[in-house]
Amino acid sequence: MLRQTAVHMRGLLARRASAAVTSSSVRMASHEVSETVDMSRPMYYDRVDVPLPDKPYKDLLTDADKTLKQKEKGPWSQLSKEEKIALYRLMFHQTYPEMKQKTSEWKTVLGGIFFFLGFTGLVVWWQRIYVYPPLPKTFEGDSQAMQLKRMLDMRVNPVQGFSAKWDYEKGQWK
């Protein structure tokens, strides 16, 4: 079994080597199904940054399509505008402007975000009323004022912080 795998690997490596060695322009000029560098199955995709996908859009061609492809092999000046557009649509699904078209997805995303923020707000509000115990008495206004006065008297953070912002001569904040 190992020997079979080795034979397969050599075949794959040979194909990979030939893909690397042959010029890419030669491969793209005959734009039918092309070899992918990472040996994944060829697939069609519309991407702004990769202009030519692995394979054309339409795989199964009707007879009319096939005659059109034959006509494409001749001089292109003999193709009418509709025929050129039809050939483009055989090869590609969307044009560049169609690919770059803006969607309204952002409205859905933003709406979802606000919805969940609002829901969270409701949960927090409910918690405040029904779950949290009362605040300790040190949070009351009088107690806070006395604590602040004591911090100033103790010269807490006198260099740049708290007490540095109090004017001790005038008895007020600077």
The least CB distance from residue 152 to other proteins, in Å, is 10
The least CB distance from residue 99 to other proteins, in Å, is 11
Residue 10 or residue 155: which is nearer to other proteins going by CB? 155
Residue 15 or residue 155: which is nearer to other proteins going by CB? 155
- Asked whether 151 and 143 are in contact (CB, 8 A), the reply is no
Which stretches of the chain bind other proteins, using CB under 8 A? 48-49, 136-138, 142-143, 146-147, 149-151, 154-162, 164
The 3-state DSSP composition of the chain as helix, strand, coil percent (nearest 5) reads 55, 0, 40
- Asked whether 19 and 35 are in contact (CB, 8 A), the reply is yes
CA distance 51 to 53: 7
The least CB distance from residue 160 to other proteins, in Å, is 6
- Asked whether 173 and 166 are in contact (CB, 8 A), the reply is yes
Residue 58 or residue 162: which is nearer to other proteins going by CB? 162
